[in-house]
């Protein structure tokens, strides 16, 4: 059950060194299939201005992070539920982040420290105050108490920004250790080592370290 997850990484994610205002949610959970052809929610939160965010399994059982701006426009990002995507029936650390950058908006899904889904909106979305859960928060269903999901949840953390890479690494390690190492071996160790090597190369501009 607590098996090794294959290393996956996207080089572009290493360049997200600065945090960006927006949304972030990190959860330690075991996803199960509710055997229903409908959305199956992990959580849904909202702000007082009407912006919202949620994690759920779609009717096709794709793991989905959805973000809604203050005007009611909804932007989903899906990831496959599979051994190479979001594993089912075993403990995992899942993160979803939305970063509002200078000219666009970056949506990302992670399993541990590995990026498995990405969507770039060619514009900045308006999420208002980003005071998540101020307008309401529901775990295990949508905001109406419907479309319940089947899962085991041990941790859920919400942020009003997309984390920078070093902070994200530290958070995943903290959650992994907090849960007794039961989220599978820390497959991000290789990613972290490569990330540190890239930073060192940047600092030395490719010159040998004396």
Domain borders along the chain are: 11-204
Furthest-apart CA atoms within the chain: distance in Å: 62
Q: What was the pLDDT predicted at 2?
A: 31
Global pTM?
0.78
Torsion, Cα 201 202 204 208, to 10 degrees, reads 20
Terminal-to-terminal C-alpha distance of the chain? 46
| CATH number, span 11-204 | 2.60.120.200
What's the average pLDDT block by block, 10 residues per block, for the chain (210 residues)? 32 58 94 84 94 94 95 95 80 94 95 91 96 87 91 91 91 88 54 57 57
Ramachandran angles phi, psi of 18, nearest 5°? -105, 145
Q: What was the pLDDT predicted at 187?
A: 47
């Amino acid at each position: 059950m607590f098996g090794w997850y294959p290393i996956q990484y996207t080089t572009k994610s290493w360049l997200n060194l600065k945090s960006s205002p927006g949304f972030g949610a990190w959860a330690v959970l075991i996803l199960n299939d509710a055997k229903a052809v409908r959305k199956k929610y992990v959580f849904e939160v909202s702000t007082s201005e009407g912006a919202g965010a949620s994690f759920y399994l779609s009717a096709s059982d794709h793991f989905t992070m959805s973000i809604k701006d203050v005007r009611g426009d909804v932007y989903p990002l899906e990831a496959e539920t599979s051994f190479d995507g979001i594993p089912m029936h075993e403990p995992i650390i899942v993160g979803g982040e939305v970063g509002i950058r200078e000219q666009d908006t970056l949506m990302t899904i992670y399993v541990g420290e590995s990026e498995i889904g990405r969507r770039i909106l060619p514009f900045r979305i308006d999420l208002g105050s980003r005071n998540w859960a101020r307008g309401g928060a529901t775990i295990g269903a949508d905001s109406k108490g419907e479309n319940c999901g089947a899962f085991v949840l041990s941790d859920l953390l919400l942020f009003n920004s997309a984390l920078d890479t070093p902070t994200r690494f530290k958070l995943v390690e903290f959650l992994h250790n907090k849960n007794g190492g039961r989220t599978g071996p820390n497959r991000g160790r290789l990613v972290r080592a490569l990330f540190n090597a890239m930073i060192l190369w940047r600092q030395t501009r490719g010159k040998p370290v004396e």
